[in-house]
Amino acid sequence: MKDVRLDQIDRPRRASRVTLDEVRFAHDRRVVLDGLSLDLSVTRLGIVGRNGSGKSTLARLLAGLVAPDAGQYRLNGIDVARDRKAALGEVGILFQNPDHQIIFPTVLEEIAFGPAQQGQRKAAAEDLARATLARFGKAHWEEAYVNTLSHGQKHLVCLMAIVAMAPRLLILDEPFAGLDIPTRAQLRRYLSHYAGNMIHVTHDPQDLAGYDQAIWLDRGDIRQTGASDAVIAAYVAEMTALGEADDIADLAG
């Protein structure tokens, strides 16, 4: 396989086609996603919902990490759960906890791993990792041990590893949760180095400023989909009403 040029990380963005047809997923006999159907061209899509609504499960399914129990999911016509080789160029995911994602001891090894999985020779994969580090202004991290980094720095390593692979779609699964305000702001700024499409899964609608479309996920089903401003306004209104209720049981997830 021919080595990908270093300027692959500047690849122009084309919309990603996300198609779900009656997708169902259960965990320990509990239905988490219940008959989801969707057909969208995605550039910037937000997914909002309360804790326990199935957001993280949907994120993992969209990334191809789990397959539906029933129904079909295709990303740009590809079954990414079954065709993992093709999935490497189509989709990446940034988890809430970077320790669930990082597998190598040094930063260079971690970033070079993805391009190597895509078929790059070791030297080319490492060159691409160095180019990515330089792009982010972190060339001096090359030999750093990941276990010496802060939580936010580990998140950045995971983001750089995804950028080096240049998938068309990046899925963000609550990556800002638990981070302080300066770290959140810095990670948002670093996301501008990713040239592809994004699906951002969050319970915090403030994370979705500037997004084109949004989905409100409620108890494993799609409550509303459409223009981001309208969906988020409806979601915030209902969450506010629930927060003002007298019976704390109304807040159960």
Q: Is the pLDDT of residue 144 over 70?
A: yes
- Sorted by where each begins, the domain ranges of the chain are 13-245
Please write the tens of the pLDDT for every residue from 199-216.
Answer: 999 888 888 988 999 999
Is 150 in contact with 187 (CB distance < 8 Å)?
A: no
Q: Is the pLDDT of residue 252 over 60?
A: no
Q: Which two tokens stand for residue 94?
A: 């940034």
The H or E element spanning position 171 is strand 169-173
Tell me the pLDDT band of 194, cut-offs 50, 70 and 90: confident
Pair type for strands 213-218 and 197-202: unpaired
Q: Is the pLDDT of residue 1 over 70?
A: no
The residue type at 114: G
Residue 246's pLDDT is what? 63
Residues 6+ apart with CB under 8 A from 224: 215, 216, 230, 231, 234, 235
Question: Phi/psi of residue 214, each to 5°?
Answer: -145, 155
pTM attached to this predicted model = 0.87
The average pLDDT across 34-58 equals 93
More confident residue, 28 or 164: 164
Tell me the pLDDT band of 4, cut-offs 50, 70 and 90: very low
Q: What percent of the chain has pLDDT over 70?
A: 92
Residue 247's pLDDT is what? 56
Is 9 in contact with 131 (CB distance < 8 Å)?
A: yes
Is 170 in contact with 144 (CB distance < 8 Å)?
A: no
CATH number of 13-245: 3.40.50.300
The average pLDDT across 14-43 equals 92
Tell me the pLDDT band of 250, cut-offs 50, 70 and 90: low
The average pLDDT across 13-24 equals 92
Q: Which two tokens stand for residue 61?
A: 């399914």
Angle between helix axes 181-190 and 151-165 (nearest 10 degrees) is 10
Residues 6+ apart with CB under 8 A from 98: 151, 154, 155, 157, 158
Is 4 in contact with 129 (CB distance < 8 Å)?
A: no
Please write the tens of the pLDDT for every residue from 73-95.
Answer: 999 999 999 998 899 899 999 99
**Rounded CA separation 251/245 (Å):** 9
Q: Which two tokens stand for residue 9?
A: 């990380």
Tell me the pLDDT band of 249, cut-offs 50, 70 and 90: low
| Average of per-residue pLDDT values in the chain | 88
Residue 130's pLDDT is what? 96
The H or E element spanning position 89 is helix 84-90
The average pLDDT across 139-144 equals 96
Length of the chain in terms of residues written = 253
Q: Please give the DSSP secondary-structure letter assigned to residue 4.
A: P
